[in-house]
Chain A
């Protein structure tokens, strides 16, 4: 579903990403771990088509992102680290607006169902987003992904700054989407969350993917050790 082949990105001779190869299948959650500047966000931006690769290619659902960017955006949903919505519109109106941009049609009741499914409490649906917490905005983001019927979910440190309860709720939502066959690529610093929900884990350092393994093959303690070892080496 999501594939990066020999992917490299350079900025003025500085290698931000070096020969990255990853593949995320439908129903997989791939967690990218790594220190700041390791190239996690660069990878996600390349999948979004916000930046262009220096070498190699990225594809979503079999479409090359650099050539069919508009097509690939139909299948993906993106939740940035700090998902921002229109503050003067309500959560429901924001959902309607963004889903409308994605050219999907739903009845009002269906929009409300998406928000409920994403775990946003009913009384918040018609409140203006200016009063929302980060967790609530992210739930709207998940509702957008649900309504857009996204096959791919790109997440850039979505749980940073969330309280443990909100973080837990978010993880549960990701697992629900996983069961629906969504392929998820998530950049995160949260080793605990990664071990809890990921099917695959990769560790990045200085633009290279240095470790990649199945989540079930490693314990949380070993993962932490491996992470620290990789980062410090």
Chain B
């Protein structure tokens, strides 16, 4: 005989209690509605996993594509350089094709792609992946981390918001829990078993709690099994700690909804009143509060629209172009040695790039100031919305899944940030070669700055 200590209800889970659990299970499983719900849940989870997997695959293909492009460019030039060093080839006439020229290799067709490698469990949530690019080309001229999104989306996906696992768990799972628990007590009254039940020496609240707890464990185990099975079918590696975190957050979110169902059952209303109340809370937590949070955050910290941002960015770039001469003048006044160098240069290419390096540096500072204004505004908005998210477990749960999938805003922003930092490193590398009139060697090709971490 198996005897398990069961902390719940201070009783020992004896053979009799196992019998009772079996009966509860039979009572649930024999309900035809339950098998239909389980089937639908399985289809939803499998379909959502498939969707997530194809998005991740597209991202991986895209990363491979740009990396190939980059590798082809540098391998070709490295080979050319080898031939030139061996004397089998002449240095190309056109400066852009010259593998010994640091600016040609660090700019124009040159440059490196920084990429966002999808997290192991990236499939679970689209998050911000349809807004932020997952790669960015970096060269001396700059980065395009903010604007580059070659990621053409299926318009249907954008219209429907994308059917990912996060959607299934945040939106559909609570409905399933409601269907599972709205009438635990009221159905006893409506089918007439309540009178017999009440004549038994039991506390009806404890009885209800036991039922809810049983159904809670039943559903959590069921979802974990279905999710694991689906991920295995789709071919996602889930043997990591983050997967346990995901399962625990699903369990917590499920607990919230079962807790709510328990309270509403305790109100002792009819099944139809219960379902209306529960669907009302579903609307409140899943739809109304999240949109309210968005509205509130964007009215307290209004951020400009994308269009407005791009227009004013263009305007400010134009403004900078107008000021270029003045800026150069000012720079030469402050650094007279640069002015002398400039006057002694006869090479047209170097004449242009002497100026250009100064201007690029100044422009970066100028644009940073402009962008930080916008970034501050949207950062304030995000922080405010994060604080308000405590009003709805649905928002917290969605954010958690985005974080697990590494498709949250923060992750993309830190990518953009690291891109900017890397861009400086990249420019610095080629600039120092340029400044010292060094030609690139084959060895240099192996030492170009590389993206870290990813």
The interface of chain A, by Cβ under 8 A from chain B, is: 48, 50, 70-71, 73-74, 76-78, 80, 82-89, 93, 96-98, 100-103, 105, 128, 141, 144, 154
Contacts and interface: CB of A to CB of B under 8 A. Distances in A.
A83 B196 contact: yes
Contact of A101 (B30, B31, B192, B197): B197
B201 A102 contact: yes
A64 to B, nearest CB: 15
B199 A74 contact: no
Given A84-B193, A85-B193, 11 more contacts: A70-B201, A83-B196, A85-B196, A86-B191, A88-B26, A89-B30, A96-B23, A98-B197, A100-B20, A101-B202, A128-B30
Given A84-B191, A84-B193, A100-B19, A89 B26 contact: yes
A157 to B, nearest CB: 13
B344 interface: no
B196 A102 contact: no
Contacts of B30: 88-89, 128
A154 B197 CA distance: 14
Given A88-B27, A93-B23, A80 B201 contact: no
Interface of B: 16, 19-20, 23, 26-27, 30-31, 191-193, 195-203, 207
B4 to A, nearest CB: 17
Majority SS at the chain A contact face: mixed
A17 B403 CA distance: 65
Contacts of B207: 101
A73 B201 contact: yes
B93 to A, nearest CB: 87
Nearest to B20: A100
B16 A78 contact: no
B195 A80 contact: yes
A97 B192 contact: no
A54 to B, nearest CB: 21
B19 A86 contact: no
A45 to B, nearest CB: 9
B23 A84 contact: no
Nearest to B16: A105
A89 B31 CA distance: 10
A96 B198 contact: no
Given A82-B192, A86-B193, A100 B23 contact: yes
A175 B193 CA distance: 26
B209 to A, nearest CB: 14
A86 B27 contact: yes
6 contacts: A74-B201, A78-B195, A86-B191, A89-B30, A93-B23, A96-B23
Contact of A73 (B19, B31, B200): B200
Contacts of A102: 200-201
A85 B197 CA distance: 10
Contacts of B199: 48, 73, 76-78, 154
Nearest to A82: B192
A98 B196 contact: yes
A74 B199 CA distance: 9
B201 A103 contact: yes
Contacts of A93: 23, 26
A71 B201 CA distance: 7
Nearest to A45: B195
B27 A89 contact: yes
Contacts of A70: 201, 203
